[in-house]
């Protein structure tokens, strides 16, 4: 079976800087793949290319057998690509439950007219969305916080809520941008288990950017390593751990 996601010699240039250069990468259905690399390696730019924030200046991106490079973010969300952000982007003034409900709305079938006329389909959809949102909060251990404002949640739970919101889009591919950033080791471990469990339960494919090596090595099946926009290694966690180019790239980061 062809991979769910395939990047073929993808590149993007910002002025004189090649943020991503000739990147070829694939993710199979159901895989959990890591994307790592020192600061400024181009990882978030890859996510921005996959979610339509940027259009590649070179190469092609194929998702579920179709070319997707250059499509708009909302189109890609509907096609099944959802993401979380490095800097949390929740609706801080909405409740935890409403943050998830809003995301569900992207997939609803009722029209604006249904809602204005308050047709039965509108109420049926609203009820279903509320139920599904709550089930999702339960799965992510957030149900007890459903009525709190998102901005009042502790940081670790805000990160979980971001994941809940991405899952509400019913994605086929989930892109997680440093989900363990700012967490203590205990929180990171719990998050790791959560991600692995959610992937299993929802039959998801996951591409994960993460600086925390324990997280990456603990849950990823394969890892790609970027440095200065270029792929320098690909392999199992064990292979990556021992790869001299990877060690060198990270030592360079520590020295700078
Ligand atoms: N919109 C943009 N305009 C100009 N330069 C950009 C833009 N977006 C990213 N860059 C540059 O591209 C390079 C890669 O950035 P990117 O954020 O993808 O790296 P990263 O691997 O995600 O880093 P970090 O781990 O620090 O988040 C950096 O040098 C960054 O300054």
Please give the domain boundaries of the chain with CATH numbers for all domains.
Answer: 29-183+193-211+222-237+247-255 (3.40.50.300)
Q: What is the model's pTM?
A: 0.90
pLDDT band at 119 (very low <50, low <70, confident <90, very high): low
Q: Which residue among 45, 180, 231 has the greatest number of ligand 1 atoms within 8 angstroms of its CB, and so is best to mutate?
A: 45
- Contact status, residue 38 vs residue 252, Cβ threshold 8 Å: yes
pLDDT band at 113 (very low <50, low <70, confident <90, very high): low
Give exposure, 39-70, as e/b (b: 16+ Cβ within 10 Å): eebbbbbbbbbbbbebebebbebbbbeeebbe
Q: What is the ipTM of this complex?
A: 0.94
pLDDT band at 110 (very low <50, low <70, confident <90, very high): low
- Contact status, residue 93 vs residue 151, Cβ threshold 8 Å: yes
Average pLDDT over residues 115-120: 66
Average pLDDT over residues 216-229: 94
Q: Which atom of ligand 1 is nearest to the CA of 46?
A: 18
223 CA distance to ligand 1 centroid (A)?
Answer: 20
Q: Whose CA is nearest to atom 28 of ligand 1?
A: 40
86 CA distance to ligand 1 centroid (A)?
Answer: 12
What is the per-residue pLDDT across 12-35, written as a single tens digit (0 to 9) for each? 999 999 999 999 999 999 999 999
Q: Which atom of ligand 1 is nearest to the CA of 226?
A: 21
């Amino acid at each position: 079976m062809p991979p769910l996601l395939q990047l073929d010699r993808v590149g993007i240039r910002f002025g004189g800087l090649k943020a991503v250069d000739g990147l070829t990468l694939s993710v199979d259905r159901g895989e959990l793949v890591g994307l790592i690399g020192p600061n400024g390696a181009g990882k978030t730019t890859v996510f921005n290319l996959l979610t339509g924030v940027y259009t590649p200046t070179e190469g092609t991106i194929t998702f579920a057998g179709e070319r997707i490079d250059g499509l708009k973010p909302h189109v890609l969300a509907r096609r099944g690509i959802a993401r979380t952000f490095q800097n949390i982007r929740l609706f801080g003034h909405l409740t935890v439950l409403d943050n998830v409900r809003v995301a569900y709305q992207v997939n609803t079938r009722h029209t604006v007219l249904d809602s204005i006329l308050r047709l039965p389909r509108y109420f049926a959809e609203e009820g279903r969305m509320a139920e599904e949102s709550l089930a999702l909060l339960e799965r992510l251990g957030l149900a007890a916080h459903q009525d709190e404002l998102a901005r009042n949640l502790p940081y670790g739970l805000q990160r979980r809520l971001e994941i809940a919101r991405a899952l509400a889009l019913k994605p086929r591919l989930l892109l997680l941008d440093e989900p363990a950033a700012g967490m203590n080791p205990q929180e990171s471990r719990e998050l790791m288990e959560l991600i692995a469990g959610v992937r299993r339960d929802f039959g998801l494919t996951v591409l994960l950017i993460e600086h925390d090596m324990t997280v990456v090595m603990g849950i990823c099946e394969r890892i790609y390593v970027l440095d200065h926009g270029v792929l320098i290694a690909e392999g199992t966690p064990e292979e990556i751990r021992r790869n001299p180019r990877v060690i060198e790239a990270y030592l360079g980061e520590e020295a700078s």
